[in-house]
Structure 1
């Protein structure tokens, strides 16, 4: 599967539970929408993923990427009810970084 470099880096950071590398995939003023919450800015994104990594220890297995729709379907497995789940990551990019990410079930 041919993923944009920043998405491949994000998957690798997630699988390594590296919240700093994960946050560095985002623009400074990026926004993440997940589980009904909004996380604004790289530092808040880093704090959100750090907490999620400790709680869920989730890994990502990319299943399908649409360059046209800028979406990634991935199997997420970890310490949470219903694991594994298929989630869709909706991206907006700017200057090679993620500007916006919305995660849906």
Structure 2
């Protein structure tokens, strides 16, 4: 899938992440959305707001989309990720796979996992 063809909500979450705009970021999720990251779950917008504040915006995360693929009900995007976080033991550069499930026009589920690299899907 060409990156320019990503659904608008994914383009919006990338822009909100990199701006940074925490309110616009959280607005990309449905009220009952679920985020899976670092082995933990955050359910609902209030929990996702706390997760994004602590794990995303505090670390000044910058997302650079590298490639994307539609896989059944998910869109998987490989991001090169940078920011102000402890990189001890992490690959350099760091690539993460974001698995998006979208229920128009919002993100219903997001799972974030370590990628094997820029060609990680």
Tell me the TM-score normalised to structure 1 length.
Answer: 0.91
Q: Number of residues paired by the alignment?
A: 104
**RMSD value, Cα:** 1.3
The gaps in structure 2 that reach 5 residues or longer are 115-121
The 5 A counterparts of 1:1-105 are 1=3, 2-52=5-55, 53-54=57-58, 56-68=59-71, 69-80=74-85, 81=87, 82=90, 84-105=93-114
Q: Work out which of the two has the higher radius of gyration on C-alpha atoms and give 1 or 2.
A: 2
Q: Tell me how far 1:44 sits from its aligned partner.
A: 1.1
Runs of 4+ in 1 over 4 A off after TM superposition: none
Q: So what's the TM-score if we normalise by structure 2?
A: 0.80
Measured at CA, do residues 89 and 45 of structure 1 come closer, stay the same or move farther in structure 2, by a change above 3 Å?
same
